[in-house]
Amino acid sequence: MTSSAVSAPKAVFLDIDGTYADRGTVPPEHRDAVRAAREAGHKVFLCTGRPLSLIFPQMLEAGFDGIVAAAGAHVTVGGTVLQDLRFPRDLASRTLAVLDAHHGVYWLETPDATYAHQFAVDTVDDHMPDHLKRADEHGKARAQVLSHLTIVDDLHQVSIGKVTVMHADIPLAEVAAQVGPDLGVIESSIPGMGDRAGELYMAQVHKATGIEAVIAHLGMSREDVIAFGDGPNDIEMVEFAGVGVAIEGSRDELLAVADRTCPGPEQAGLASAFAELGLIPR
């Protein structure tokens, strides 16, 4: 990575899992880098697949100018909601019908809460790789998410922003195909989960569309955007950005659209990348 100078204020967008945080834990160097970048006049946002309801306090300690959540479906800047997109009723009904027909273990994400059947909580461990069940950081991150699920009997009453699927009896791409072209699908980024787990979302809604809402509100352009990510749901964001940064070791599809790379959170990679991009003093 070569050094670079940034003179004008930038809008910086950070994926959480595997980029800003490591299994839910934010390195102190990352918090310091975010604070320093904002003090230097840049705008810094979280840009995550997580809904607001699963963004935990320790992830917000640095202070941010806004959040692109649910992979672009929910967008806030300075406490103002710019975008809150939900599944149309017919799409939601078709999605749940297909998931239930194939014994789906899933939860429904909204800004206020994340909802699941008791069946999902009772059976999710049957489909988890062993590394997520251990009493280490992987296991703590899993337990934290499960502890924040709201159990309801009738999921059809939930206004869905996005769906996380931990298991279905058929590949998730086939679930999406049975629902129709207005449903997008992305395989899980969790190692070992396989092709029957991942996320279902409204087609044409992704992190880059959320970023577009932010920069339109701020009067900035895509050339002003610096984006960092590590997963398949970061491809549109990294490709859209004026400077797209992929975490080292990311999938080839993401690396192919990135302008540069940086180390992951286990090495506090954002801190060095912020300095090299001129966002903070060296």
Q: Does 33 score more than 60 pLDDT? A: yes
Average pLDDT over residues 121-134: 76
Domains, the chain, ordered by start: 11-85+205-276 (3.40.50.1000), 89-202 (3.30.1240.10)
Give me the pLDDT at residue 3, please. 44
- In this prediction, residue 2 has a pLDDT band, given cuts at 50, 70 and 90, of very low
The SS3 assignment for 164 reads strand
Give me the pLDDT at residue 5, please. 53
Average pLDDT over residues 236-245: 98
| C-alpha span between 202 and 89 (Å, rounded) | 12
Q: Does 10 score more than 60 pLDDT? A: yes
**What average pLDDT is seen over the chain?**
92
Query: Do the beta carbons of residue 245 and residue 258 sit within 8 Å?
Result: yes
The token pair that represents 56 in the structure block: 């935990």
Give me the pLDDT at residue 132, please. 62
- In this prediction, residue 131 has a pLDDT band, given cuts at 50, 70 and 90, of low
Give me the pLDDT at residue 1, please. 39
Give me the pLDDT at residue 145, please. 82
What is the radius of gyration, based on Cα positions, of the chain?
18
CB neighbourhood size of 260 (10 A):
14
Give me the pLDDT at residue 134, please. 62
12-16, 124-128, 239-243, 246-250: which has the minimum mean pLDDT? Answer: 124-128
Give me the pLDDT at residue 67, please. 98
Give me the pLDDT at residue 126, please. 85
Q: Does 215 score more than 50 pLDDT? A: yes
Average pLDDT over residues 120-135: 76
Give me the pLDDT at residue 138, please. 56
The share of the chain scoring above pLDDT 90, in percent, equals: 83
User: Position 8: which residue type?
Assistant: A
- In this prediction, residue 14 has a pLDDT band, given cuts at 50, 70 and 90, of very high
Average pLDDT over residues 54-58: 93
Residue that has been written with the tokens 């599944």 in this structure: 87
| C-alpha span between 187 and 185 (Å, rounded) | 7
**pLDDT of 150-198, one tens digit each?**
999 999 999 999 999 999 999 999 999 999 999 999 988 777 788 999 9
DSSP 102-116: TT-EEEEE-SS-EEE
Q: Does 234 score more than 90 pLDDT? A: yes
Q: Does 7 score more than 90 pLDDT? A: no
